Structure formats: structure tokens, C-alpha cells
Amino acid sequence: MKLCTKKAVEEARERNLQLPEEKNGLILTLTNTDGKKYGGMSNKPLEEFKEFVEIASRADANVLEIGAAYGTPYLMETFKKESMGHYTACELVGDQLRILATRIEELDPSKLSNLTLIAGPFPRKEVVDHLQEGGYDAILALHVFQFLTEEEVVEAFKQVHRLLKPGGKLFAKVMTPYNGITRPEVLQKRAEEVQNYLVHKTRPLPGFVKHALARSHIKDSVTDDLLKALGITTDLHVFQFDRDVMKAFLESENFLIEICEYSPLNFPPFALDGREHLTIVLQKPN
């Protein structure tokens, strides 16, 4: 669903929608219509993917952020620039976009014309139908694809390829199974699934976990109270990304891989050996 930016600001003020208070280093997301929470948005200064902001700051640029929440640091940094192109913010929870719009209006009312708001779940048809095929110089997706099913992950990357201009780039970060909370026996089973995929290249992609936070999957030291404090609904399904699987898959999807490497997450209890995140930068061939 496409939202009118000016109306989004009016509705946010009529309903007194406010940016939630930051807790434990996160601004927790609102509850979705499915009754679930999907973690939180970091408000920390930019540390990587600065190239995305550089692209978005060109006057002729057209960029898309999937999972823009209340306005990620990348989005807010872009709108603070004197020069910028057009920025489409896609977000599952519509009220988060309404809060985002008020932040931009307070920053610079004239910049609302540079903003398009799309509410709904990517990569479903009701969202992608509002997006421009071959229209984006860059796409940003932070901690979004990990909440998809295997079929949705495959479709998401197909849509990214369709939406990018030739030479356009995807900047993404996702979670891996190597997060410090998963039981060793679960990791061993995952390793066998990964090896089988790499040998045979058969679907499904290994990584989908229907009840990822079930007690049978996570260590006893990770309590329900801790997960609640992190804004995570315990009945979520997730897709956990393995580097070698994704390299093989992305090459098969005709992407040029610039970066597909593990990176650390120093956020207890999600910390083990520097493989908690997978950082991805892809380019659509010219």
C-alpha cells in the first residue's frame, strides 16, 4: 500500500504517534498485524554501507530501502544532505512509516517530495507492484530477509535483480546460524544441510527454521525475558544465512558479488566468533 507522505504526517500527529524510546541499544519495532514483533532498529551512527548514502545523495539517484522502520540512520543521513535523489521507504508496519514521515517533515518539510512510502511485506505482490522495475540505483535491506521463508528469500533476490538498474547495487545484512545462542546439535545438522546443498545445488536452500527460538533450538541460558527485551517474538520463523550457500545461490541468480562475508555482532547474547552477521554487497551486471 502506497501512503501519501503529507497525509502520513497528519495521521501521525492526529494519533500522537511517537518514536519509541531507545532501550538496550535498540528502538523496538511496533507489533505487526500478525501479532508479532520483529526486533528493533539501531540508531547508532553509520559504520558501513556509506556507499549507499553516497549513491542516495546524488541529485539524479533513485534508491529503495526495504525495512526502513522509523527512519534508519542511513535514511536520516541521506535526508540531511544538501543534495539527494528520490528515496522509497518500504516497511512492514505502516505506523512506523508515519513516524518516519514526521521525522523528515521536522527535519526539512521540502524533503517530503523526495520520499515515497510503501507499507507491506516485501517481496509480496501488493508491495512489488508499487516499485519500479529496473528503476533503482541502490537497494538497502538491513535485517529483513532473515524473517522470510525459503521461497520468499528466493523471490526477494529475484525481485531485487528485477528492480535494480543495470550496474545498481544491493546492500544487505542478515543473521546467520552462528549467533552464539543456537544449540551445537542444531548447528551440526545445519552443517550437513549446507554441505548437501553445495554438492548437489538442489532446493530448498538450507537455512529456514520454522520455530527458530523454540527451546529445542536455543541454549537454556537464553531466557524468554531476554528475547522480549530485544523485541523478538518467540514464535517467529527465520531464515539463517550461510556464506557459502549464499555465494553459490547468488551467482546462480546472475549477481556480481562484491562482498559476501561474515561480520561480528557485539550484542550479547548474539556473539560467538565473528560470524553472527552476513554482510552482502551485490551488483546487477550492466
CATH number at 170 reads 3.40.50.150
pLDDT greater than 70 at residue 66: yes
Domains in the chain, number? 1
Percent of the chain with pLDDT over 70: 92
Q: Report the candidate in 206, 213, 216, 214 with the shortest Cα–Cα distance to residue 186.
A: 216
What does the mean pLDDT of the chain come to?
90
- Per-residue pLDDT of 19-56, as tens digits, reads 999 887 788 888 887 777 777 888 887 778 999 999 99
Domain holding 190, by residue range, is 2-283
Which cell numbers hold the place of 242? 550461510
pLDDT greater than 90 at residue 156: yes
- Which amino acid makes up residue 78? T
* Predicted TM-score (pTM) above 0.75: yes
What is the H or E stretch that residue 94 is in? helix 94-107
Rounded Cα gap, residues 197 and 244, in angstroms: 10
Query: Phi and psi at residue 101, in whole multiples of 5°?
Result: -60, -40
